[in-house]
């Protein structure tokens, strides 16, 4: 059975990674692959988003299938499917087998975390994505791991390229060409907080050195949710008379199910990995379908349950007493992707999975740190100096699993304003220095350009008078895509900048009368 399970895990991990690699534009308007399918199948994201938004307007079929599978078979998702779980298995192989270390047995922790998340989502907060394993994994891969792999790989091939050795460089360029087609990203991704996100991920993997699958046993809120759902699962474990209590099964158990305790086996902690069945020297363990099963009750302790529920409740006002929630006081750099819902609604939905940042064609979507305060940590912000919003690209809305960024048609996209550009006359070459420059106008993508010129007579130091074009922003036409800021040749602080004012999604954050 172990072999079948490992094969299944490997298959799901590979599908997951392959879809991750496909979360990148090839130049068409659509990606062509269901890249967010793992997020769609995630019951924790499904339930918390349904609670926080009181809506069911996002894909839910797959999540329902996972819920159904769990109700019938127990935590098979954790043991057989979850790509983060499989990575934990792999990381766990680095741990020395030392029977001396006592397991922490803190499996209750994750239920407290889950209660916190569920209660806060009832009161419209959506913090689940911070710890949801699928969101966490995609975010970590997108922002840190994949950019690192890319950087390292490209560096090696660039070095071989600069050496220009006969045969060696030809060979390396050939391999590089293949990698560029199927594995590497089109351009090096750069992300704010890359190292921080990567270290958090590394830390979570390193927990396996303390105890294998530490995260799954003690911390994962999705695991806790699936644990609760599996309480009445039909797949049950029975131990026959042959058991002599040798305890081999305890060491192979991937969860905290206490397989040596026979009838006191904790079903909610069983990942259905079937290791205990395989390992039992007496062949006394059997998994089979039965309606009723021995089960140790899951005693979480009333005080602690109330405590975590209270924490979830308190978190809501605690995270929202920030002046950033006032229009006008909000960070002007908080430019949300096109199709984003109004900020409150946006934060109720965004699960910080990083899909939009992974897919952003210009790398302009970056993870927020405190631009939207703690509630919006790791949510997407457009940073035009890094990359602009491509006029005819709608990919971020296509990959958002919860509709925080709505899917737009090309016609709708053309109308959505994400902010407005304004010119800094103190730095703009034609204004401040009498020099000719038209880059912002040239790159402005709206059919009738949102940047127009005024022809003025200028005289620079000692020179004759001449005619110069000075740019102005048409605030009605500007959509805030930021390409002018990205391409402005005044490096450092650009002479034209976009802020969120005028964004279509906000009623208050407006400038113009109409």
Partner 1 sequence: MNRRDFMKSALITGAAIGMPAGLDPILTALQAAQGPDLAVVRGTPPARITRAAVDALGGMRRFVSRGDVVVVKPNIGWDRTPEYAANTNPEVVAAVVRLCLEAGAKRVKVFDHPVSDARRTYRQSGIADAAGAAGAVVSFVDDRKFKDMRINGLTLKTWPLYTEAIETDKVINVPIAKTHGIARLTLGMKNWMGVMGGWRGRIHQRIDESLVDLAMFIKPALTILDAVRILTASGPQGGDLADVKLLNTVVAGTDAVAVDAFGATLFGIKPADLGCVRVGHQARLGSMDLAGMNIRRIAL
CB-wise, 236 or 362, nearer to partner 1?
A: 362
In angstroms, give the least distance from the CB of 258 to partner 1: 53
In angstroms, give the least distance from the CB of 30 to partner 1: 12
In angstroms, give the least distance from the CB of 446 to partner 1: 7
Asked whether position 447 contacts partner 1 by CB under 8 A, the answer is yes
CA 358, 360, 363: angle at the middle one, nearest 5? 90
413 φ/ψ angles, rounded to the nearest 5 degrees: -55, -40
Rule CB under 8 A: choose which of 39, 257, 377, 393 binds partner 1. Answer: 393
Asked whether position 449 contacts partner 1 by CB under 8 A, the answer is yes
Question: What is the rounded CA–CA span in Å between residue 257 and residue 297?
Answer: 12
H/E stretch holding 453: strand 451-459
Asked whether position 399 contacts partner 1 by CB under 8 A, the answer is no
Asked whether position 171 contacts partner 1 by CB under 8 A, the answer is no
Rule CB under 8 A: choose which of 109, 123, 151, 161 binds partner 1. Answer: 161
Question: What is the rounded CA–CA span in Å between residue 441 and residue 470?
Answer: 10
Rule CB under 8 A: choose which of 372, 439, 473, 478 binds partner 1. Answer: 439
Residue 336 · residue 343 · CB < 8 Å: yes
Asked whether position 446 contacts partner 1 by CB under 8 A, the answer is yes
The contacts of residue 236 (CB under 8 Å, 6+ apart) are 267, 287, 288, 289, 290, 293, 294
Question: What is the rounded CA–CA span in Å between residue 184 and residue 20?
Answer: 11
In angstroms, give the least distance from the CB of 468 to partner 1: 10
Rule CB under 8 A: choose which of 109, 196, 287, 391 binds partner 1. Answer: 391
Rule CB under 8 A: choose which of 97, 303, 326, 448 binds partner 1. Answer: 448
In angstroms, give the least distance from the CB of 356 to partner 1: 16
How far is residue 176 from each of residues 23, 25, 160, measured CA to CA in Å? 20, 20, 10
Part of the chain binding partner 1 (CB under 8 A), chosen from 208-216, 259-267, 286-294, 436-444? 436-444
Question: What is the rounded CA–CA span in Å between residue 407 and residue 340?
Answer: 9
CB-wise, 31 or 207, nearer to partner 1?
A: 31
Positive or negative, the Cα torsion across 67, 69, 72, 76?
A: negative
Rule CB under 8 A: choose which of 200, 314, 318, 438 binds partner 1. Answer: 438
Question: What is the rounded CA–CA span in Å between residue 224 and residue 67?
Answer: 13
H/E stretch holding 451: strand 451-459
- Ramachandran bin of 110, using left for φ above 0, alpha for ψ from -120 to 50, beta for the remaining angles: alpha
CB-wise, 262 or 469, nearer to partner 1?
A: 469
Residues 185-214 interacting with partner 1 (rule: CB under 8 A): 186
Asked whether position 420 contacts partner 1 by CB under 8 A, the answer is no
Rule CB under 8 A: choose which of 122, 412, 445, 510 binds partner 1. Answer: 445
Asked whether position 491 contacts partner 1 by CB under 8 A, the answer is yes
Dihedral angle of Cα 155, 159, 161, 165, to the nearest 10 degrees: -150
Rule CB under 8 A: choose which of 210, 286, 392, 415 binds partner 1. Answer: 392
Largest interatomic CA distance in the chain = 105
Part of the chain binding partner 1 (CB under 8 A), chosen from 133-141, 255-263, 341-349, 438-446? 438-446
Asked whether position 427 contacts partner 1 by CB under 8 A, the answer is no
Asked whether position 487 contacts partner 1 by CB under 8 A, the answer is yes
Question: What is the rounded CA–CA span in Å between residue 384 and residue 486?
Answer: 5
Asked whether position 444 contacts partner 1 by CB under 8 A, the answer is yes
CB-wise, 447 or 464, nearer to partner 1?
A: 447
Q: What DSSP letter does each residue of 225-277 carry, written as one string?
A: HHHHHGGG-SEEEEE-TT-----HHHHH-SSS--GGGGGG--GGG-----HHH
Rule CB under 8 A: choose which of 469, 474, 475, 477 binds partner 1. Answer: 469
For residue 392 the two structure tokens come to: 């005819």
Asked whether position 437 contacts partner 1 by CB under 8 A, the answer is yes
Query: How many residues belong to the site for partner 1 (CB under 8 A)?
Result: 34
For residue 201 the two structure tokens come to: 């991920």
CB-wise, 99 or 464, nearer to partner 1?
A: 464
The contacts of residue 478 (CB under 8 Å, 6+ apart) are 417, 420, 421, 446, 450, 451, 502
CB-wise, 88 or 417, nearer to partner 1?
A: 417
Residues 323-382 interacting with partner 1 (rule: CB under 8 A): 361-362
Q: What DSSP letter does each residue of 396-450 carry, written as one string?
A: HHHH-SSSSBPP--HHHHHH----EEEE-TTT-HHHHS-----HHHHH--SSS-S
CB-wise, 28 or 512, nearer to partner 1?
A: 28
H/E stretch holding 6: helix 2-22
CB-wise, 107 or 176, nearer to partner 1?
A: 176
Residues 12-41 interacting with partner 1 (rule: CB under 8 A): 25-28
Rule CB under 8 A: choose which of 73, 143, 205, 443 binds partner 1. Answer: 443
Contacting residues toward partner 1, per CB under 8 A: 25-28, 158, 161, 186, 361-362, 390-393, 429, 435-439, 441-449, 453, 469, 487-489, 491
């Amino acid at each position: 059975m172990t072999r079948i399970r490992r094969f299944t895990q490997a298959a799901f991990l590979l599908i997951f990674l392959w879809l991750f690699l496909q979360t990148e534009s090839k130049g068409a308007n659509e990606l062509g692959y269901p890249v967010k399918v793992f997020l769609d199948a995630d019951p924790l994201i499904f339930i918390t988003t349904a609670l926080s938004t009181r809506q069911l307007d996002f894909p839910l079929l797959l999540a329902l299938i996972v819920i159904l599978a769990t109700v019938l078979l127990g935590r098979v998702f954790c043991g057989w499917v979850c790509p983060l779980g499989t990575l934990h298995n792999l990381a766990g192989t680095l741990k020395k087998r030392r029977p001396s270390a006592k397991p922490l047995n803190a499996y209750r922790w994750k239920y407290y975390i889950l209660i916190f998340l569920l209660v806060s989502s009832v009161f419209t907060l959506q913090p689940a994505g911070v710890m949801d394993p699928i969101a966490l994994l995609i975010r970590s891969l997108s922002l840190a791991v994949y950019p690192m792999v890319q950087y390292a790989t490209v560096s090696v091939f660039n070095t071989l390229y600069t050496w220009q050795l006969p045969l060696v460089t030809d060979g390396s360029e050939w391999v590089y060409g293949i990698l560029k087609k199927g594995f590497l990203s089109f351009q090096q991704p750069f992300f704010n907080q890359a190292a921080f996100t990567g270290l958090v991920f590394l830390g979570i993997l390193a927990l396996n050195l303390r105890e294998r699958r530490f995260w799954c046993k003690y911390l994962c809120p999705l695991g806790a949710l699936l644990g609760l759902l599996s309480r009445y699962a039909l797949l049950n474990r029975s131990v026959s008379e042959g058991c002599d209590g040798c305890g081999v099964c305890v060491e192979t158990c991937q969860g905290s199910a206490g397989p040596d305790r026979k009838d006191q086996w904790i079903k909610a902690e069983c990942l259905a990995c079937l290791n205990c069945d395989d390992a039992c020297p007496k062949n006394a363990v059997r998994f089979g379908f039965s309606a009723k099963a021995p089960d140790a009750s899951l005693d979480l302790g009333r005080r602690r349950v109330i405590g975590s529920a209270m924490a979830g409740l308190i978190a809501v006002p605690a995270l929202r007493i920030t002046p950033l929630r006032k229009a006008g006081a909000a960070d002007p750099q908080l430019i949300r992707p096109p199709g984003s819902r109004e900020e409150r609604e946006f934060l109720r939905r965004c699960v910080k999975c990083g899909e939009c940042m992974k897919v952003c064609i210009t790398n302009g979507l970056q993870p927020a740190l405190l631009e939207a305060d703690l509630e919006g940590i790791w949510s997407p912000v457009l940073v035009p100096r890094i990359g602009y919003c491509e006029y005819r690209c709608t990919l971020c809305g296509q990959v958002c699993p919860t509709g925080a960024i709505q899917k737009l048609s090309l016609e709708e996209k053309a109308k959505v304003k994400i902010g407005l550009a304004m010119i800094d006359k103190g730095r703009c070459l034609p204004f401040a220095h009498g020099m000719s420059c038209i880059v912002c106008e040239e790159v402005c993508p709206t059919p009738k350009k949102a940047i127009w010129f005024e022809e003025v007579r200028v005289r620079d130091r000692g020179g004759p008078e001449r005619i110069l074009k000075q740019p102005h922003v048409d605030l009605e036409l500007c959509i805030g895509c930021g390409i002018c800021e990205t391409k402005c040749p005044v490096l450092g602080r650009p002479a034209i900048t976009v802020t969120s004012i005028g964004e279509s999604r906000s009623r208050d954050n407006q400038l113009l009368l109409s």
